[in-house]
């Protein structure tokens, strides 16, 4: 019986080589950024009825890039990610969204969204 679900799937390109961090007393984590792109034509108009949706394409193509912070905690996956994933690699990530807070170097509380792979 599933009462709730937190699951995300992303396909994109790695923004920088992964880094491995370890906070004292905690397990290491591999961290990297992933860029996903959304493309559409400017001037698109949607004509829909019920479950049927037609997209009329007119105009230039526009693109939006979204950056995601990916954290890998699972020991085997964490180590393989650190060793083999490189900037520019196209990869598929599956995980869950985690919303957290941290205090920056100026002692300001910030919110952070992370994908736990």
Task: Give residue limits of the domains in the chain.
Answer: 16-34+63-116
18-27 own/partner pairs: CB under 8 Å, 24+ apart: 18/72, 18/81, 18/82, 18/85, 19/82, 20/78, 20/82, 27/73, 27/75
CATH class of the domain whose range is 16-34+63-116: mainly beta
pLDDT at 43: 66
- pLDDT tens-digit series, residues 38-91: 988 776 555 545 555 445 555 688 889 999 999 999 999 999 999 999 999 999
Which of residues 98 and 53 earns the better pLDDT score? 98
Q: What's the mean per-residue pLDDT of the chain? A: 88
């Amino acid at each position: 019986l599933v009462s709730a679900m937190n699951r995300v799937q992303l396909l994109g390109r790695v923004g920088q080589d992964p880094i491995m961090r370890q906070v004292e007393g905690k397990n290491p984590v591999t961290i990297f950024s992933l860029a996903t792109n959304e493309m559409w034509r400017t001037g698109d108009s949607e004509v829909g009825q019920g479950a049927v949706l037609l997209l009329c394409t007119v105009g230039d193509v526009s693109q939006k890039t979204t950056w995601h912070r990916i954290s890998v905690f699972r020991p085997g996956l964490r180590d393989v990610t650190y060793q083999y994933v490189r900037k520019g690699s196209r990869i598929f990530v599956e995980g869950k969204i985690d919303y957290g807070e941290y205090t920056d170097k100026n002692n300001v509380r910030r919110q952070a969204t992370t994908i736990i792979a």
